[in-house]
């Protein structure tokens, strides 16, 4: 089935009794029992399918996990309480039985960098950052670090670089490492990392999948090799998503392909408009023919689907000028997230990469003049009109 059909139907309409609910119910029970202790024992032993305790599994969560497996062509999935919980579960599972070493893209979401540097590294995990867009440099880093895990993003946050996932997967395989891909910016509509050789695809479902700003959650989709280890770790750690959030995520996913097409189309139009604006110094967008990874974008992404994020630098702007610009927005919401139906503007220096040192941000190319726009599904003329009036103030002199 096409992804548009899977988004509507996968995971739903199980038969709990004589009548079949058209959508998955919200199962709030924390524990379950059966007609006999023998059957409960088999369920605990996992020799018979069933539910015993909500930290292990939940029917609403299981429906979402089935849906995400269908969208991502995975073997199994785990719904988590946040996107960062999903990243941590994927990386820790990837390292199980492997050398405790991670090679990560040198441009990542700030909290992911924090997870690597401040949580995993103090426990003895060696962390090395590498230019994953230069495959020779990546091979050299992998040869030196001998990692158990390689961690990348489909589209990097916030400068929107695009790695060659299939070729990075080959490098990981040859090194005996597992490849974890954060596919939040890409979504299964643009790319499905497991089909390209990755071992884990991770999402913050808070973003495009749920899509309405009312869910905090994450999901890990894994291949067959790693799934049982992922679920075993989950049964101990308990990072599980609540059933109500799973229900809301499933409801959002039903319209996700439609919304994502509009996000992408609006981002294309906005990117082109920003590129011609005199106050905009530089635009970052994967659909730009001059994008440094244009060849990878053409090869891996469907035509005319480049993601819904546009980052740009305001000329001669520092923190004060960026704040003035964002305070002037009337339609676009200056809030810390992305992927909602409404357009959102974020200042990476203040939020997503706040905990990264200024020197590290500078090395990553994240400057004080950079903002990140998540194009919503509004009429694109209204999005552009809001940007135009907010940028209309005279350029500051420095």
Nearest residue to 127 (alpha-carbon basis) of 99, 155, 153? 99
- Select which of 161, 192, 207, 361 is catalytic: 207
Minimal CA–CA distance to 68: which of 12, 119, 130, 10? 10
Q: Which of 290, 86, 304 is nearest to 183 (CA)?
A: 86
Q: Is 182 assigned a catalytic role?
A: yes
CA 74 to CA 22: how far, in whole Å? Answer: 24
Residue tagged active-site, from 182, 288, 340, 368: 182
Taking a C-beta distance cutoff of 8 angstroms, is the pair 249, 64 a contact? yes
Q: Residue 265 in 3-state DSSP?
A: helix
Report how far residue 207's alpha carbon sits from residue 204's, in angstroms, rounded to the nearest whole number: 6
Q: Are 150 and 108 in contact (CB under 8 A)?
A: no
Cα separation values, 87 from 3, 108, 120, 203, Å: 24, 12, 12, 8
- Mapped onto helix, strand or coil, the DSSP state of residue 283 is strand
- Residue 292 to residue 265: CA distance in whole angstroms: 21
Length of the chain: 398
* Residue 207: closest CA among 216, 198, 220: 216
Catalytic, 207? Answer: yes
Dihedral sign, CA of 108, 156, 74, 216?
Answer: positive
Among residues 51, 56, 109, 208, the one annotated as catalytic is: 109
CB contact at 8 A, 99 and 146: yes
- How far apart CA 167 and CA 29 sit, in angstroms, is 44
DSSP code at position 120: I
Question: Which of 55, 128, 251, 324 is the catalytic position?
Answer: 55
CA atoms within 13 A on the CB side of 177: 28
DSSP per-residue string spanning 150-205: EEEESB-TTT--B--HHHHHHHHHHHTPEEEEE-TTTHHHH--GGGGT-SEEEEET
CA distance 182 to 173: 18
Catalytic residue list: 55, 109, 182, 207
């Amino acid at each position: 089935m096409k992804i548009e059909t899977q988004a509507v139907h996968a995971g739903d309409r199980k038969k709990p009794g004589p009548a079949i609910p058209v959508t998955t119910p919200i199962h709030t029970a924390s524990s379950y029992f059966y007609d006999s202790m023998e059957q409960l024992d088999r369920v605990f032993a996992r020799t018979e399918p069933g539910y015993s305790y909500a930290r292990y599994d939940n029917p609403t969560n299981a429906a979402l996990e089935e849906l995400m497996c269908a969208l991502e062509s995975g073997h199994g999935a785990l719904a988590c309480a946040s996107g960062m919980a999903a990243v941590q579960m994927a990386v820790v599972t990837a390292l199980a039985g492997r050398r405790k070493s991670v090679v990560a893209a040198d441009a990542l979401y700030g909290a992911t960098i924090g997870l690597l540097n401040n949580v995993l590294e103090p426990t003895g995990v060696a962390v090395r950052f590498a230019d994953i867009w230069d495959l020779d440099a990546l091979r050299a880093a992998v040869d030196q670090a001998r990692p158990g895990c390689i961690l990348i993003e489909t589209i990097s946050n916030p400068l929107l670089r695009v790695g060659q996932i299939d070729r990075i997967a080959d490098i990981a395989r040859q090194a005996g490492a597992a490849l974890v891909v954060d596919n939040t910016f890409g979504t299964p509509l643009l790319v499905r990392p497991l089909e390209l050789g990755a071992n884990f695809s991770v999402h913050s479902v808070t973003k495009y999948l749920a899509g309405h700003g009312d869910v905090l959650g994450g999901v890990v989709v894994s291949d067959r090799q790693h799934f049982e280890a992922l679920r075993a770790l989950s049964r101990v750690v308990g990072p599980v998503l609540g059933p109500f959030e799973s229900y809301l995520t499933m409801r959002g996913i039903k319209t996700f392909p439609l919304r994502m097409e509009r996000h992408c189309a609006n981002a294309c139009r906005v990117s082109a408009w920003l590129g011609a604006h005199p106050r905009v110094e530089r635009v970052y967008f994967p659909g730009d023919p001059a994008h440094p990874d244009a060849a990878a974008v053409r090869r891996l992404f469907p035509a005319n689907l480049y993601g819904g994020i546009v980052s740009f630098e305001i000329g001669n702007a520092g923190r004060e000028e960026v704040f003035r610009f964002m305070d002037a927005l009337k339609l676009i919401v200056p809030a810390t997230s992305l992927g909602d139906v409404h357009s959102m503007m974020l200042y990476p220096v203040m939020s997503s990469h706040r905990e990264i040192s200024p020197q590290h941000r500078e090395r990553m190319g994240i400057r004080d003049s950079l903002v990140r726009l998540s194009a919503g599904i509004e009429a694109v003329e209204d999005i552009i009109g809001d940007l135009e009036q907010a940028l209309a103030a005279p350029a500051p002199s420095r």
